[in-house]
Structure 1
Amino acid sequence: MTTLRTRANGIEIAYDTFGSPGDRPLLLIMGLGSQMIHWDEDLCGLLAGRGHHVVRFDNRDVGESTHLHEAGAPGPGWNGRVPYLVGDMADDAAGLLEALGLDSAHVAGVSMGGMIAQSLAIRHPHRVRSLTSIMSTPSPRAAPPTEAAMAALMSPPSPDREAAIRRAVATWDVIGSPGYPADRERIARVAALSYDRAYDPPGTARQLAAIMASEDRAPLLAKLTVPALVMHGEDDQLVPLSGGIATAEAIPGARLLTFPGMGHDLPRELWTDFADAIEELTGSADQAAAAAR
């Protein structure tokens, strides 16, 4: 795929698309430190084949979007201040939709991407046709990671490309899905491409700081009227199932769909289930909106 770029919310955002522009728009938002390429092209193609015009993009501080290098890395000098919050990243997503000429879109986010999607629905409700929150939470306090997952997440940055690939494989061995075989070859390939596109541990640290400094979204999620789907692995060590339950309980009418054996990744064996659920949500949401007009 050809990477495209546009200006939005004061930064440059890298993105690409799948499917026909005339189909239902579906914005995909990735998680902490993860680039848009972590949305597998085959999964994007599957979603496009279900009638969606899929847009995936690099969040700020990862990939080929703007990196806030001048902000530095979190540390004692920050004194509790952070350069941005999850809400600012949601504003990036809203700006991207505007730049692409989309008044609104269906939105799906994974992990931190789910937090951004939640915040997008809160801050820009007119932009969100439906909300799919995957392996996410309204607040880190609602779903604290296991000690093993936290240790994997906080392991030291890698000194070179090969070490970064090994670190990625080791991390997904800890937080991935115990019920499904790990595709280590794909993990290594994506890690290598991610390193080549942009390797920026301080950027990931700034994203993590944004997560930790942002408010609990549960009270604001309770005010949403958008159709919502919450999907979560029952064996997630990084954002345990309690996060998905808290999300579904906070959003009125949200559907909770859980998967035994799924950890903090998107196993290929479940892609059809994910696509079925998202297609059902986006189709019914658009039908209800059309009937209400």
Structure 2
Amino acid sequence: MSSTKGKNLYFNDKSMDYVTFGKGKQPLVIIPGLGDGLQTVKGKAQLFSLSYRLLAKRYKVYVFSRINELRQGYTTRDMAADVAEAMETLNLDAAYVMGISQGGMIAQWLAVDFPENVQKLILAVTTAKPSQLARERIEHWQKLSQSGNFKHLMLDIAQHSYTQKSYQKWRFLYNIMGRLGRIKDKKRIAIQSQSCLDHDSLEVIKRIHCPTLVLGALEDDVIGVNGSKELAKAISGCQLLILKHSGHALYEENKAFQEAVCGFLN
């Protein structure tokens, strides 16, 4: 029996939303991407357990949001320290850790600063330092989010995150979501996107020594596939897998993604 729960965590005057699901014993921590700046994982436990069906069969999965009290100048490294504190609060000594996009930036710091917390590391569609392409995308989303144009923001994210084929399929849904939704907290998304722009772990990731898999997407139109390749080059003994027919949202688009993760973790 797998119980799916959404919860709140409190530590050191901070609070964090997280969800947990899955039938396995071994903990797998997932750190989501920049979308977390628009909405935390609150209320999404069911959705995640469906999206990550394959992982839910094998692991006890924890998905952590950023803390609710983000302040100006908060970095991806600060966010990693929060994840480490959250893990400690839940008595998760060591776990498999998967970071996706901005979550991958945070996961890099987690593995550098808190190596004892990370048994194996998966870095999906992420980079050690944003390329020109990534900077343009993030700066554009920053502008759209600050102007409050949620519909344009959602459609732009979808357009660049999915392959053309998938985008046609998802566009309708994103259009509706964009019309119904609104940006709850402009400051939160601004701080998170800024932390991506400032992220630079190139000098330190050579200190990552746990088994690591870098997963890239051939058609990644946000980070760019080279971001994944450079990252893999900088981490010693790291495995690199580039998935074809996949865009930046490869974790949603590609069944091969979860299979690759399971293969690596086993």
TM-score > 0.5, shorter chain as reference: yes
Q: Give secondary structure in 1 for the equivalent of 2:187.
A: helix
Aligned residue number for residue 194 of structure 2: 209
Task: Give the match for residue 93 of structure 1.
Answer: 83
Deviations, residues 208-245 of structure 1 (Å, cap 9, x unaligned): 2223334x312321122111111111121220111101
The reply on whether 1:199 has 2:201 as its aligned counterpart is no
**Count of equivalent residues:** 256
Q: Which SS does the other structure have where 1:156 is aligned?
A: helix
Distance 1:59 1:175 in 2: 21
Partner deviation per Cα, 1:230-276 (whole Å, 9 max, x = no partner): 11111212201111011111111111111223222136441x31111
Alignment match, 2:137: 149
Partner SS, residue 123 of structure 2: strand
Q: Is the contact made by 1:59 and 1:89 (CA closer than 8 Å) also made in structure 2?
A: yes
SS at 1:4's partner residue?
A: strand
Partner of 1:172: 158
1:179–1:261: 8 Å Cα contact kept in structure 2?
no
Match of 1:183 among 143, 160, 170: 170
Q: Determine which of 24, 27, 42 is the counterpart of 1:25.
A: 27
SS of equivalent to 2:132: coil
CA distance in 2: counterparts of 1:149 and 1:213, whole angstroms: 14
Question: If the length of structure 1 is used for normalisation, what is the TM-score?
Answer: 0.77
CA shift for structure 1 position 180: 3.2
Distance 2:127 2:231 in 1: 6
The alpha-carbon deviation at position 155 of structure 1 amounts to: 3.8
Identity of aligned residues (%): 27
Q: Is the 8 A contact 1:180 1:261 kept in 2?
A: no
Partner of 2:120: 130
Structure 1: 5+ residue stretches without partners: 61-65, 72-81, 284-293
Cα deviation, residue 158, structure 1: 7.0
1:150, CA displacement in angstroms?
A: 5.0
Asked whether 1:57 is paired with 2:64, we answer yes
2:257 equivalent to 1:274: yes
1:171-195 deviations in whole A, cap 9, x for unaligned? 3113422353442355457668974
Q: Is structure 2 residue 19 aligned with structure 1 residue 16?
A: yes
User: Counterpart in 1 of 2:49?
Assistant: 41
> What SS does the aligned partner of 1:28 have?
strand
Give the SS at the match of 2:196.
helix
The superposition leaves residues 11-66 of structure 1 with CA deviations (integer Å, 9 ceiling, x where unpaired) of: 1011111113x5211111111242334974312332111x1111112213xxxxx1
User: Distance in 1 between the 2:95 and 2:135 partners?
Assistant: 37
Distance 1:13 1:164 in 2: 24
**Residue 83 of structure 1 corresponds to which residue in structure 2?**
73
- Does the 8 Å CA contact 2:211/2:238 hold for their aligned counterparts? yes
Secondary structure in structure 1 of the residue aligned to 2:192: helix
Partners of 2:188 and 2:91 lie apart in 1 by 28
Residue 144 of structure 2 aligns to a residue whose secondary structure is coil
Could you tell me whether the CA contact under 8 Å between 2:146 and 2:190 is conserved in 1?
no
Over aligned residue pairs, what C-alpha RMSD do you find? Answer: 2.8
SS in 1 for 2:145: coil
Per the TM alignment, residue 8 of structure 1 is displaced from its structure 2 partner at its CA by 3.4
Q: Are the aligned partners of 1:28 and 1:108 in contact in 2 as well (CA < 8 Å)?
A: yes
